[in-house]
Structure 1
Amino acid sequence: MDKERLPRWGWLLIGLFAMAITANLLNFFVFEPAGLPSDYQVITVITSMAPVLIYIGVWYDEDRQQYWDHSREHIVGDVLFVVVGAAIGSAIALVAIVDFDFPQILQDVVGMAAGFMLSWGLFWWRNPDLYRGESGR
């Protein structure tokens, strides 16, 4: 994949769209028949989108290319932290607010914010050297 073919936001848009389609197909064919309530199906969308949000930046930014020098095990561990963090963060947020009769869009946004923040926090915790220049240290 050529980074210069599209701007960063283009790659991000393509990745998020592909993950949203994949997650919704997974919801439709696997989780809905298994009995997952529709209020919680957004968790799979958030969980699939979180790695895209984090890794497009790491892949696209020249000053973060040293990340790819890590071992394969480290990178796989990071991806697992991101995916699990997104699932847990969004699930906790949704469980806390789903019974309050908030509009569905508000529930989804709160779940996304919690899931993305926890997943990015876990990624940052495992790789603080990637963001050291931005934090002022």
Structure 2
Amino acid sequence: MDKERLPRWGWLLVGLFAASLVAQLVNAVLISQGILPERYQVITIITAMSPVLIYVGVWYDEDRQQYWENPRERIVGDVAFVLVGAAVGSSIALVAIIDLGTWRLLQELVAMAAGFLLSWGLFWWRNPDLYTMETDG
């Protein structure tokens, strides 16, 4: 894929849209089978979108290209950490506040923040060298 075809925000929007479509398909199956209650469907959306938020930056930024030199197993492990972190973080937050009587939008925003923060935190924990600033001198 040509990075220059779209600006970074364009790739981010395309990725988030695709992740949203996949998450909605998964939700349709899980909800229709009775596996996931409808009020928890935001967890799959957050889980699908979190790798997009992290990896578009890693893919697009020139100073982070060394990440792609890691072994494939390492990258797959990182993706697994991101997915599990997003699912666990958003689940814990949503379960903690879902019965408090707050607006659904507020519940989903809190779950989104918790899921994204935990997933990015786990990614950073596994790859702290990607986010260190090199200083001259």
TM-score (norm. length: structure 2):
0.95
Letter in 2 for 1:89: G
In the other structure, the counterpart of 2:40 is 40
Deviations 1:35-91 (A, max 9, x none): 211111100000000000000000000000000000001000000000000000000
Equivalent residues in 2 for 1:39-118 (5 A)? 39-118=39-118
Q: For 2:31 and 2:3, how far apart are their aligned partners in 1?
A: 37
Deviations 1:110-134 (A, max 9, x none): 0000000000000000000000118
Structure 2: runs of 5 or more not aligned: none
Letter in 2 for 1:31: L
Letter in 1 for 2:118: L
Q: When the two structures are aligned, how many residues end up with a matched partner?
A: 133
- Identity, % of aligned pairs? 71
Structure 1: runs of 5 or more not aligned: none
Query: 1:34: how far off?
Result: 2.6
Equivalent position SS for 2:99: helix
Q: For 2:43 and 2:30, how far apart are their aligned partners in 1?
A: 11
* Aligned residues: CA RMSD: 0.9
